[in-house]
Chains A and B, each alone.
Chain A
Amino acid sequence: MDTIEDRDAHEALILDSVDRFLERDVKPFAHELEANDTYPDEIVDKMKELGLFGATIAPEYGGLGLPATTYSKIVERVSAVWMSVSGIFNSHLIMAAAVERFGTEAQKQRYLPRFATGELRGAIALTEPDCGTDLQAIRTQARRDGDVYVVNGTKTWITNSIHGHILAVLVKTDANAEPRHKGMSLLLVEKGAGLRVGRKLEKLGYRGIDTAELLFEDCRVPAENLIGGEEGKGLRQIMSGLELGRINVAARGVGIARACLDEAVAYSQTRKTFGKPICEHQSIQIKLADMATQVEAARLLTEFAAKAYDTGRRCDMEAGMAKLFATEAALFNSLEAMRIHGAYGYSKEFNIERYYRDAPLLAIGEGTNELQRIVIARQLIKRNPV
């Protein structure tokens, strides 16, 4: 199976199974789980069976080794049905990517196979109460004490931290280092003594999935859990993982933007005003045309970034463009879909208000869209010196 047709046929089989999983095991339950902010345990079990937790992990470590191009299509589909479900495997796989790209062989052997099955599910813990965008300002400390690190500090907004088992935690191993990133490291912390999960955070959207505060109080972590075995590399390691993270957030944006479009296209043909379906009114047609154009452009940019990622070269600019555009498309389309649906768009009984509540996270998480513009512009200048 090596030709392009074979690869496409193979990807089609994968996407078909994902669609069936969504149709059978997610769609019928999403509304109620989301309304009650209930963690979808049964869906997680099905995701394990389906193999999603190993999607991008290499086959030699028990994963599927899917390219980012296929992976982003999976994320798009999942998010079009219920974005929270994608969050359960997305940050898990960013953590896995950091281990796979930068971990020691022993770390890979020890963790990746269990990440791939979903037996160990994880999260990434970067954000703190006082900093999100400016990660170099983190204050969580890891002090070396013999063959352990003693970790103290607070992380917040950490997705998967209640139901997950392990976290990639960004810490300061040297608070005085200059430049600051040279004092930053990434530690794999399994839940246990010294790590307390604080309150579950109440959110506008992205409900059902757990986002919480974490308190590290003299938490002792084996020194062998320092990713890559060398201090001072943490920021670069996690930033590289965030390239995949941003492609996946872009794919979520495409998913939501597309779901909004699909529902608007269907609804506008059945809802009638002034004797004709509203899709025949020009102002609605303009909305539909703009929404559809947003979806296609967002999808192409996301594919462009995923292809760049698959070549292995640096792609923060491409990933940033995709993330920026596709998430703005999701925001735009969710509001337009709401207008097209009128009061029904505002109703809890339709999906539109959920898309409208889920979309804004995409503009904030995984690097705000303001930050993406900075990243894009910096790369633009760097790649085009005069």
Chain B
Amino acid sequence: MKVLVAVKRVIDAYVKVRVKADQTGVETANVKMSMNPFDEIGVEQAVRLKEAGTASEIVAVSLGASQCQETIRTALAMGADRGILVETDAELQPLAVAKLLKAVVADEKPDIVILGKQAIDDDSNQTGQMLAALLGWAQGTFTSKLVIDDGIATCTREVDGGLETVSLKMPIVMTTDLRLNEPRYASLPNIMKAKRKPIDVKTPDELGVDIGPRISVLKVVAPAKREAGVKVADAAELVARLRDEAGVI
């Protein structure tokens, strides 16, 4: 069984993100970049499938600028076998990513494509679903547990109000939720070995995919600063203020 796992290069989760002065986006110059945490969970899942003997090959794919190679290297160091970079400096929206991945899937013919449920930069939560639709494959989104047996994937999904378990016929698209696993950090010897694993570079043109944007961003602003709270003396004052000042009761 072959696993394709998508890995996105995003601003590191611990970096304090700053909006650009002209409101066109966020500052990325000289900012630490890392693999999207949900994608790390995806790579970990793929490696566990391989360690369990369920998967035989793991291909890590990233789309974007040439620096995405570093993100692929991280996946290779964690245990992926080889990488594919679809290189472009253009900004990629979820639909373009889904189309590119569809083209990669056509070449690679994996049995399962694993993506994060969302990327922590734009929080779109769309790519996996769009890819499943484009491929016409079953989808197991927000998965917190995965069991694969005899061509059937059983995904436990984290949905509002509880857990839903679905049984899907392979091949499938799966997106990871936080509780699926705790990803390993790569050991130093594996980082050294990853140097020698191959990364194949392609372009959107070679894949024949139109990556033109369908959404235009009007402006990006920082969330409003939280004001200090107020202390109330007792329940009566609280009720009075909620009623008279906040107007919520």
Contacts and interface: CB of A to CB of B under 8 A. Distances in A.
Question: Main SS of the interface on chain B?
Answer: helix
Contact of A50 (B70, B187, B194, B195): B187
Question: Main SS of the interface on chain A?
Answer: helix
Given A9-B73, A13-B70, A16-B34, A24 B191 contact: no
A326 to B, nearest CB: 24
Given A12-B70, A16-B34, A64-B192, A51 B185 contact: no
B12 to A, nearest CB: 9
Nearest to A52: B188
B155 interface: no
A76 B34 CA distance: 21
Given A10-B195, A13-B191, A59-B192, A24 B70 contact: no
A106 to B, nearest CB: 25
A228 interface: no
A20 B185 CA distance: 7
A347 interface: no
Interface string A98-142: 000000000000000000000000000000000000000000000
Contact of A51 (B70, B73, B187): B187
Contacts of A50: 185, 187-188
B9 to A, nearest CB: 12
Contacts of B189: 51, 54, 64
A61 interface: no
A32 to B, nearest CB: 22
B77 interface: yes
A54 B74 CA distance: 20
For A17, A18, A55, A64, the residue with the greatest tally of chain B CB atoms inside 10 Å of its CB is A17
Interface in A238-295: none
B186 interface: yes
Contacts of B185: 16-17, 20-21, 24, 50
A213 to B, nearest CB: 34
Nearest to B69: A9
Interface of B: 34, 69-70, 73-74, 77, 185-189, 191-192, 194-195
30 contacts: A1-B195, A9-B70, A9-B73, A10-B195, A12-B70, A13-B70, A13-B73, A13-B77, A13-B194, A14-B188, A16-B34, A16-B74, A16-B185, A17-B77, A17-B187, A17-B188, A17-B191, A18-B188, A24-B185, A49-B187, A50-B188, A51-B188, A51-B189, A52-B188, A54-B188, A54-B189, A64-B188, A64-B189, A64-B192, A66-B188
Interface of A: 1, 9-10, 12-14, 16-18, 20-21, 24, 49-52, 54-55, 59, 64, 66
Which 5 residue pairs spanning A and B have beta carbons closest together?
A51-B188, A20-B185, A51-B189, A17-B185, A1-B195
